[in-house]
Amino acid sequence: MTGILAGKSALVTGGASGIGRATALAMAREGARVAVADMTEASAAATVELIIAAGGQAIALAGDVAKEADVATLVARSVAAFGRLDCAFNNAGISPRDVGPAGQRTHEMSRASFDDMLAVNLTGVFLCMKYEIAQMLAQGGGSIVNTASIAGLVGLPSASNYVASKHGVVGITKTAAMEYASDKIRVNCVNPGYIKTPMTDPTMAERYDALMTKVPMSRLGLPEEIAEAVVWMLSDKASFMTGASQIIDGGYYAA
Ligand SMILES: NC(=O)c1ccc[n+]([C@@H]2O[C@H](COP(=O)([O-])OP(=O)(O)OC[C@H]3O[C@@H](n4cnc5c(N)ncnc54)[C@H](O)[C@@H]3O)[C@@H](O)[C@H]2O)c1
Over residues 129-174, the pLDDT tens digits come to 999 999 999 999 999 999 999 999 999 999 999 999 999 999 999 9
- Tell me, what's the pLDDT at 190? 99
- Tell me, what's the pLDDT at 78? 98
Residue 162 is among the residues annotated as catalytic for this protein: yes
- Tell me, what's the pLDDT at 250? 98
Is 147 a pocket residue for ligand 1 (Cβ < 6 Å)?
A: yes
User: What does each C-alpha distance from 32 to 69, 114, 195, 238 come to in angstroms?
Assistant: 26, 36, 24, 16
Asked if 223 and 19 touch (Cβ cutoff 8 Å), the reply is yes
Question: Who's near 69: CB < 8 A, 6+ residues apart?
Answer: none
Q: How far is the CA of 95 from the centre of ligand 1 (A)?
A: 8
Separation CA 226–CA 191 (nearest Å): 9
Q: How far is the CA of 56 from the centre of ligand 1 (A)?
A: 23
Is 202 a pocket residue for ligand 1 (Cβ < 6 Å)?
A: no
Residue to probe by mutation, ligand 1, list 19, 39, 215, most atoms within 8 Å of CB? 19
Ligand 1 atom nearest 150 alpha carbon:
6
- Tell me, what's the pLDDT at 189? 99
User: What does each C-alpha distance from 66 to 123, 143, 179, 200 come to in angstroms?
Assistant: 6, 21, 23, 21
- Tell me, what's the pLDDT at 2? 87
Amino acid at 190: V
Segments in the chain below pLDDT 50: none
- Tell me, what's the pLDDT at 1? 67
Atom 14 (ligand 1) nearest CA = 18
All domains in the chain, ordered by first residue: 9-246 (3.40.50.720)
Is 120 a pocket residue for ligand 1 (Cβ < 6 Å)?
A: yes
- Tell me, what's the pLDDT at 103? 94
- Tell me, what's the pLDDT at 162? 98
